[in-house]
Amino acid sequence: MKIDDNFYMKLAIDEAWKYQLLTYPNPAVGCVIVKDGKLLAIEAHKEAGMPHAEINALKAAYLKVNPNSVVKTKSSSSDIHEFFLKNHNDFFNDCDIYVTLEPCNHIGKTPSCANLLKELKPKRVIISVKDPNKTAAGGLETLKNANIDVSVGILEEEGLNLLLPFISWQNKSCIFFKMAQTLNGSIDGKISGNRALAYVHTLRDKIDLLVIGGNSVRVDKPTLDARYIAGRAPDVFIYSKNKIFDNNIPLFRIPNRNVIISDDLFKLLDYKFVMIEGVYTLLDKLKERIDFLILIVNSKIKNGQNALNDIDINFEILHENYIGEDKIMFLKRK
Amino acid sequence: MKIDDNFYMKLAIDEAWKYQLLTYPNPAVGCVIVKDGKLLAIEAHKEAGMPHAEINALKAAYLKVNPNSVVKTKSSSSDIHEFFLKNHNDFFNDCDIYVTLEPCNHIGKTPSCANLLKELKPKRVIISVKDPNKTAAGGLETLKNANIDVSVGILEEEGLNLLLPFISWQNKSCIFFKMAQTLNGSIDGKISGNRALAYVHTLRDKIDLLVIGGNSVRVDKPTLDARYIAGRAPDVFIYSKNKIFDNNIPLFRIPNRNVIISDDLFKLLDYKFVMIEGVYTLLDKLKERIDFLILIVNSKIKNGQNALNDIDINFEILHENYIGEDKIMFLKRK
């Protein structure tokens, strides 16, 4: 196997996928640091407001060589920035820094990564994708103007796949479908393991709106909250022509939750980050509206209902993660 | 992400899985070399008679630093061994060598890896699994006696999963089931892409016996050869109570092929490496007999027959590879 720029960029991309969607409204970004040929850090941005991927990687790389450095005690992005501006001692001069996305050039919740890198003067910065976000872009120019060797477009297709949710919620609404099944497509009863269920609750905590079919509400009476992670219950959109529901169903009993009952999908466009939870029939109805599908697959073959209908959809696998006994597949329609 | 022994061993294990089953009758083995912190090689054993994983990795690591060395022109295991015995110049003294399986200690088709490593005196040898094969074992002792620092048991569970087919065909017959489906479990019509089909033909070229249900033979009239890779057509076992078949079916027309028509599964134990090709119904019948399942999944959702019956099987995912638009899942019954 070739150990080259593509190899290290792939490590950065895979690390970023672990936090895909959880960084909302920020993009999922990964960063790898190689110092004089030694792999020192594989890190990612984990959550909005937390340090960017580059900052996490700079800290990890520095600590790998200086395990007792005081930077160990710094967790906020500003503190880590400040530490390195004062104490880098040219540590990064022989480093190759791989980032899946052009380092940000604007000062948001954290200082600009491009400006920090400019001061640290790494040997090379290797970027997969130029930032499509006008506000944050310009990092490339900042680095080039500081005479840092910059390469752009390494594993660009994989880098763009990683950015797909971010680009969606930047441009318009990001609407994705979530479905759980067994290996053979069975959807009956409890399918997913507990860690996969906690993952779904983590997603519910992040999204602006949860869409569910009227029939599911009537039959399954779900609460649709994020109790497994003690998170925020999202607003709910019940997709139904028939507007009459039993108000005692638990989902109506969540304080501060808006519930919309409607069959007008245009209303979804008022929200930035929307998850639809359902099975094959709803997927087939809404397939033209979604940006991607999250398919949670439990590794068993089981008897049960399998709603095949007349569905015919081709997908590209963007990525797969493993959570306990389940796989999380990110699929894009072809 | 922690960059430690587990990280490097995982790279070795993943590389070895790319050649899983193709190394028959040898085990799938991967090897990673890190010189003074620099990742130099990620290699694997690719086919019986070809160099072992360690030899491929030693060569790749040396060439990464000395790209014009004459070792570039050496391809046989003996030639590479000989080159390094004479010309190592202590290159490997500051190397950590990660191997998924204890280096072999016996001289088979190629010289012993443990004896070569003993001469090269690497800083450390890190091993996932001790060799269960008595003939080849002893490498650990050889290395220790040469005062090389050896660690054993790194990612042992993953290392054992990688060895599962090898351990099966060492102890008895290795019998695996191969099935193709779409994401939703549909099995109608042409499912897999061309690269996945070529992969199946590569497996057919390796196995000793192909098992197929009588009904499949009658309905689909398959040839069951390895024409996509110009490979050897395996012997065929038609699993059927009814022994009468149309002799004009192409599978009977392959020269030098034995065809057994029987419902006595004990006959399978006369063969070392057996692939059963079928769908859910046959899987359910034979699930107690198989060592693992290869599930080839095409990334589409499609209408079609879905043979659910009363199947209830729990699996552990051993590994997944991607081949074109298909996934190759290696599944073990739990």
**Is A54 known to be catalytic?**
yes
What is the CATH number assigned to the segment(s) B173-333? Answer: 3.40.430.10
User: Read out DSSP for B247-268?
Assistant: TTSGGGGSTT--EEEES-GGGG
List CB contacts (< 8 A) between A331 and chain B.
183, 299
- Binned at pLDDT 50, 70 and 90, residue B306 comes out as low
Whole-angstrom Cα distance, residue A134 to residue B295?
Answer: 44
Would the CB atoms of B185 and A303 count as touching at under 8 Å? no
ipTM score above 0.90: yes
- Computed over every residue of chain A, the mean pLDDT equals 94
Whole-angstrom Cα distance, residue B66 to residue B84?
Answer: 13
Give the rounded percent of residues in chain A with a pLDDT score beyond 70: 97
Report whether pLDDT(A14) > 80: yes
State the pLDDT at residue B110.
66
Report whether pLDDT(A189) > 90: no
State the pLDDT at residue B308.
62
Give the side-chain half-sphere CA count within 13 A for A251.
25
- Binned at pLDDT 50, 70 and 90, residue A172 comes out as confident
Number of H helices, E strands in chain A: 9, 14
- Binned at pLDDT 50, 70 and 90, residue A110 comes out as low
Backbone φ/ψ region at A185: left (φ over 0), alpha (ψ -120 to 50), beta: left
CATH H-level, domain B5-170: superfamily = Cytidine Deaminase, domain 2 (3.40.140.10)
Q: Which of B184, B314, B331 sits opposite A185 (nearest CB)?
A: B184
Domain regions of chain A by residue span: 5-170, 173-333
- Span B72-84, pLDDT tens digits: 999 999 999 999 9
Instruction: Work out how many CB contacts closer than 8 A connect A with B.
Output: 110
Would the CB atoms of A3 and B280 count as touching at under 8 Å? no
Mean pLDDT across A303-321: 82
State the pLDDT at residue B136.
66
- Span B37-85, pLDDT tens digits: 999 999 999 999 999 999 999 999 999 999 999 999 999 999 999 999 9
Q: Which of B43, B54, B158, B277 is catalytic?
A: B54
- Binned at pLDDT 50, 70 and 90, residue A231 comes out as very high
User: Minimum mean pLDDT among A24-38, A127-141, B26-40, B171-185: which range?
Assistant: A127-141
- Binned at pLDDT 50, 70 and 90, residue B111 comes out as confident
> In sequence order, what are the beta bridge partners of B292?
B176
List CB contacts (< 8 A) between B181 and chain A.
184
Mean pLDDT across A283-310: 87
Higher pLDDT, residue A133 or A103: A103
